[in-house]
Structure 1
């Protein structure tokens, strides 16, 4: 509760409009790129056209707005009732791409089929996190900080593959024979260095907007090199009307199991984020009030991901970076979250917003995502380092990383397996995560 003394506005305070808008803008700067990046990466990997990519980006913004409102408002048992910002999660990118590949027919991507498998799997697997919210005291005994840290590290490590692929120019560059060209790698390096430069600045606004500024510099240079064609924009005057189940739903058992494991880990991450948010906001971090808040937040995390699939978007999670923003601004008022939610919903309704960001070259995006994914891996290592590294912990880490990275580095090892086994274990995150849970549960060593 000491943290409350550092706050300018508490959880239920209503700041003046000008200060509310200013705080909301700072949160938007911190999350905007993170929300739109997963649909851009997924669309690039699955070779979706500009219109589909733009629509997916728009729906990610729209659903993030709805999810943020639910978390901040707390509707019945659903929501944390804190200034919790939700957005598209990076954790699900790898298994989602795998699910989308089920839409390949005779070597050609059937967009509707691929997305129907993705949204069907995301919707059904989201039930896992909702169930976990009701069983919170017990699941924390299974998903320990060691297991959570291993999975988070694997998420970052496995996504680095997608990041470096974008740095080389992505699938379009592979098709054109320009993958890894000096132009693509130079552009990615420029973005990477720019983000680091702004992030290490003493100016807090430069730090908050470092990724946005890095991408802006990269896009300006890319435009000068003729890599961005604004003539491809269309539908600037229309609105994106959210259509539930636009692509339909299909279900694949392997996809659902793989996604379900990540929802399990996401629930544990959400618990950590809610704990940090409560502490910074001057709220209790133990006892029945906190437990009810944590359960509501995790339930909302799963429900919002279910809602995302209904509205043709990808799973959502609570953004940890906004906890730092609360501490930085001294504004913990959940009413600020309503303005953030409204801005995201409005941005998601305009097709031109999604299409504009869909024009960002893969190399520019790669320079930013490579750093983001490396940061995710580093965050996992920090979680592991916070635990006692016993002989058992070393064994659990060793076998989990070995199993997880092996299927990422040599995917052909599963070629002779049945399809359901291939679909479950083709993701290093799923393989390593399941190994971590089982190894942590069954390995017994007397220290």
Structure 2
């Protein structure tokens, strides 16, 4: 139930209303805490895949580069959120939509940068820029393509995203990536803090109420971090090297056009746009008890795309609306976009301070692994929840079975594509794009009355 001391019921449903500052500020910070871990995790994963070491200053890519990617994730989440809450002409829903780095793109980005260092990041960031511009253009047609993405398709896509990421979570919790030769990979010393994160997160999620339940993963990671610190797994050696202020650098990683990456980013932009449509509708229903208008949905999509394109210019990853914050709005009953603006300003300030990114970079990989196991599992669960709306007749079961078998099979056996070109490998080995393509095509061409 909403706190009526914040304003009248009518005021709380108004996106343009600003609660008293003494309460608006903590509400804004609460939004940041609810999304913070999920926002920086993709940057850490992609940096690791590209060859940037955890807490390492060795080699061509190391501690400063990891810190920069974390810093940019924070900064551009704040900027993209401002595009949504404040708006600019037709851009922005002018609703309390919190933007952050998207997990959906991670399965496509990992093979694009795997072990390639700066060269991989140059191609990826170019893809992010172009994909963001494509995403922006979807704002003109987003309402007309929703029919092609019913729960059967979107639920499968979200489920595949989660399945593609679960392996990363387990590897991190066990101590890294096996081929890196970590001596104690899989040992109890590695799994201990990770299990603490999982247990504490579940305990908070199920037995706590209010904001604590929303921030369960953050609290779990803090608990695991403390255990890892006591076990001597946390190093602060690089923290002193980070500066107190640093601006974003245009084309930090260079510019390199890779058709496979661009195509992958554009395809995932469609998925991200549909996710944003759902989140926008969820906010207006949960906070104001109404459907989102076409103008709000279009504005949200424009802001999604522009935020991603700008982020790519400065070496950051794609942005999307954050669903956990939609739930937070429903929980608090506060629809004010200005509350979220306060949170966005906080993110922007933090994004200019590398010390914050360096502090996050002290989180041991196994502690992060415990958190992402839960987060990626929740992605899978969200996909299953979407699929619960499907009418499971013979037609839909055949579509789902075919798409899942091909997509998940290619994910499990990427060597099956070793004789195709590099472009096809990047697009297909995650399993996500082939599964989605099969589901979309079959859903469009197979007649609805197939069971008759």
TM bracket (short chain)? over 0.9
Contact 1:83 1:333 in 2 (8 A): yes
Q: Could you tell me how far apart the structure 2 residues matched to 1:272 and 1:9 are? A: 19
Quote how far apart the aligned CAs of 1:173 are: 8.2
Which residue does the alignment assign to 1:228?
234
Partner of 2:107: 94
Measured after TM superposition, the shift of residue 300 of structure 1 is 1.0
Provide runs of 4+ in structure 1 moved above 4 Å: 4-7
2:80 and 2:45 mapped to 1: Cα distance? 21
- Picking from 130, 151, 156, the partner of 2:136 is 130
Q: Distance in 2 between matches of 1:263 and 1:14?
A: 32
1:4-40 deviation digits (Å, cap 9, x = unpaired): 9587462111111111012112111211111111111
1:39 aligned to 2:52? no
Task: Look up the SS of the partner of 2:100 in the other structure.
Answer: strand
**Which consecutive residues of structure 2, in runs of 5 or more, have no partner in the other structure?**
1-7, 53-61
| 2:391 equivalent to 1:385 | no
- TM-score, normalised to structure 1's length? 0.93
**Structure 1 unaligned runs (5+)?**
none
In the TM superposition, residue 237 of structure 1 has moved relative to its aligned partner by: 4.2
Aligned position for 1:276: 282
| Alpha-carbon distance in structure 2 between the residues aligned to 1:299 and 1:334 | 17
Aligned to 1:75: 88
Say which SS state the counterpart of residue 231 (structure 1) adopts. Answer: coil
Question: How far apart in 1 are the matches of 2:134 and 2:215?
Answer: 35
- 1:374 counterpart (374, 377, 385): 377
Name the SS for the 1:271 alignment partner: helix
Q: Is the 8 A contact 2:283 2:330 kept in 1?
A: no
Aligned equivalents of 2:215 and 2:89: distance in 1?
35
How far apart, CA to CA, are the structure 1 residues paired with 2:147 and 2:327?
A: 28
SS in 2 for 1:365: helix
Report the alpha carbon displacement of residue 253 of structure 1 after superposing the two structures with TM: 1.1
1:168 matches 2:174? yes
Q: Decide whether aligned partners of structure 1 residues 238 and 135 sit closer, same or farther in structure 2, where only a CA change above 3 A counts.
A: same
Of stretches 122-131 and 426-435 in structure 1, the one that deviates more from structure 2 is: 122-131
**Contact 2:393–2:451 (8 Å) recurs in 1:** no
C-alpha separation between the residues in 2 aligned to 1:205 and 1:285?
A: 26
Would the aligned equivalents of 1:222 and 1:361 in 2 still touch at CA under 8 Å?
Answer: yes
1:96-119 Cα distance to aligned partner (Å, 9 max, x none): 111113xx5xxxx4x321210110
Distance between the aligned counterparts of 1:238 and 1:206, measured in 2? 30
Q: Is the 8 A contact 1:9 1:15 kept in 2?
A: no
Q: 2:34 aligns with which of 30, 34, 48?
A: 30
SS at structure 1 position matched to 2:120? helix
**Which residue is 1:57 aligned to?**
70
1:235: how far off?
Answer: 3.6
Q: Distance in 2 between matches of 1:83 and 1:349?
A: 23
How far off its partner does 1:252 sit? 1.1
